[in-house]
Amino acid sequence: MNLTERDARHIWHPYTQMKTAAPPLPVVKAEGALLYDEQGRSYIDCVASWWVNLHGHAHPYIAEKVHQQLLQLEHVIFAGFTHPPAVELAERLIGHLPDRQNRIFYSDNGSSAVEIGIKMAIQYFFNQGRPRTQLVAFDMGFHGETFGAMAASGDHSFFTAFQDFLFEVKRIPNPVQGQEAAALEALEAHLKTGEVYAFIFEPLVMGAGGMIMYEPEILSQLMALCKKYGALCIADEVMTGFGRTGRMFACDYLTEQPDIMCLSKGLTGGTLPLAVTSCTEEVFEAFWSDDKYKTFFHGHSYTANPVGCAAALASLDLLESEGSARDRQRVEAQHRAFRARIEQHPAVRSSRQRGTILAVEFESEEATGYFNNLRDQLYHYFLDRGVLLRPLGNLIYMIPPYCITNEQLEQAYSAMEAAFSAFLLQEQD
């Protein structure tokens, strides 16, 4: 019995209709931007394995640092204890985070980081004896799969079964070109009630909602409104953090800065689960009290896991290197050149880019969206050509590891161009 057959007996895969999905691809090793299956065939990981991998798979430097930490301290409860990797990582992250971020709360994944941020914002006002009841988010934001994160997310079809169980969140238009004034007007209308405790957003790139991109200026204006009315700003940088947008954090493009930030995915370079929710000293001080009931009662068994922190420190070492900066600039330039190359292709409805994130919207008779039928066809088309891409319906995106070579990028671009022509003919038929 091979690996795929053994998998089919017991495993339930994420975001997969198990009855109709093709068997999963058995990956047995990886190196750099390449994944290898049981037969030794390679696939270019153009989505960084769900956006987590920064420096390439099985990176020897990160592996060595993880190995050293495993021999020293694998884990210790983080309530009432601390350890060097957690302290050093907090210090180094604070050095990179936007001004005013001064406290680090550890957890395990992006959804939890968001959940913690929402809870912090609610309790911030509660602890001061002036509770507020409303959260504001964009129409098509996506913040994760735990209940608070689902509530903060937009009207995504894969959350339909849970809609009646989620708390209400006030929505404002995505602030894309032409909708900036509407977004500002809607946000201010909510803020004027005095009930908004926070505005949560994915800065500059809204990922799972369709790689929707918008400008720093409008986000800074929205955040300034929140400051005016005393509401907190929560930046969900789970996807955009650690260089993805061309700067260390998407918030580095802004003139206003958040009160709370959520980080995960690239934090450990794609090696181990780890997440961070950071906040300002002002937020932290609302919990600093002789009253034990003002404690932030949240924790995870593996909070600040030392091995995960060691991986994150190693990833930061690599990220801070000149070589990594050059790679990010190189990938960004290659994406830009490819966009110019396909600009007039009749199969391309639109394309957009922010840093190393590239999105190309495929022309389709169906509405753009996650359930567009082109998705499965495109996914398998690319896999057959040795390229891992996971289209969001008819939207193809690339968020590759920074180490991806120009030759590997060209192979992926060529596969996309071939798909444009092949599926344009199919649509016309």
The pLDDT of residue 363 is 87
> Do residues 113 and 148 touch, judged by C-beta distance below 8 A?
no
User: At 20, is the secondary structure helix, strand, or coil?
Assistant: coil
If asked whether residues 204 and 345 sit together in one domain, one would say no
Residue in 267, 259, 358, 372 with CA at minimum distance from that of residue 312? 267
The pLDDT of residue 427 is 59
Partnered with residue 361 across adjacent β-strands are 350, 395
The pLDDT of residue 157 is 85
If asked whether residues 31 and 132 sit together in one domain, one would say no
- Distance (Å, whole) CA 44 – CA 31: 10
What six digits make up the tokens of 9?
């007996």
Could you report the per-residue pLDDT of 328-364, keeping only the tens digit for each? Answer: 999 999 999 999 999 999 999 999 999 999 999 998 8
Could you report the per-residue pLDDT of 205-219, keeping only the tens digit for each? Answer: 999 999 999 999 999
Considering just the CA atoms, what is the radius of gyration of the chain in Å? 22
- Mean local confidence (pLDDT), 371-375: 83
Q: Is the pLDDT of residue 276 over 70?
A: yes
If asked whether residues 189 and 256 sit together in one domain, one would say yes
Could you report the per-residue pLDDT of 40-93, keeping only the tens digit for each? Answer: 999 999 999 999 999 999 999 999 999 999 999 999 999 999 999 999 999 999
Q: What would the DSSP string read from start to end of 347-392?
A: TEEEEEEETTEEEEEEP-SSPSSTT-THHHHHHHHHHHTTEE---B
> Do residues 56 and 81 touch, judged by C-beta distance below 8 A?
no
The CATH number of the domain holding residue 276 is: 3.40.640.10
Partnered with residue 352 across adjacent β-strands are 359
Phi, psi dihedral angles at 296 (to 5 degrees): -85, 100
Q: What is the mean pLDDT of the chain?
A: 96
> Do residues 118 and 196 touch, judged by C-beta distance below 8 A?
no
Q: Is the pLDDT of residue 423 over 90?
A: no
The CATH number of the domain holding residue 24 is: 3.90.1150.10
If asked whether residues 23 and 71 sit together in one domain, one would say no
> Do residues 390 and 420 touch, judged by C-beta distance below 8 A?
no
Among 254, 287, 319, the domain-final residue is 319
- Mean local confidence (pLDDT), 107-127: 98
- Distance (Å, whole) CA 136 – CA 428: 42
Q: Is the pLDDT of residue 389 over 60?
A: yes
Q: Is the pLDDT of residue 138 over 80?
A: yes
- Mean local confidence (pLDDT), 237-245: 98
If asked whether residues 255 and 384 sit together in one domain, one would say no
The pLDDT of residue 424 is 72
Domain count, the chain: 2
Structural element, H or E, at residue 71: helix 60-72
The pLDDT of residue 373 is 81
Q: What would the DSSP string read from start to end of 259-281?
A: SEEEE-GGGGTTSS--EEEEEEH
- Distance (Å, whole) CA 283 – CA 285: 5
Partnered with residue 236 across adjacent β-strands are 262
Domain that holds residue 343: 3-58+322-428
If asked whether residues 150 and 276 sit together in one domain, one would say yes
Q: Is the pLDDT of residue 369 over 90?
A: no
- Distance (Å, whole) CA 136 – CA 114: 14
> Do residues 269 and 30 touch, judged by C-beta distance below 8 A?
no
Phi, psi dihedral angles at 135 (to 5 degrees): -115, 140
Q: Any idea which residue has 């500002």 for tokens?
A: 184
Output the pTM of the full model: 0.97
Among 319, 344, 375, the domain-final residue is 319
Confidence grade of residue 426 (pLDDT, cut at 50, 70, 90): low
User: At 421, is the secondary structure helix, strand, or coil?
Assistant: helix
Phi, psi dihedral angles at 291 (to 5 degrees): -85, 110
- Total number of residues shown for the chain: 429
Q: Is the pLDDT of residue 429 over 60?
A: no
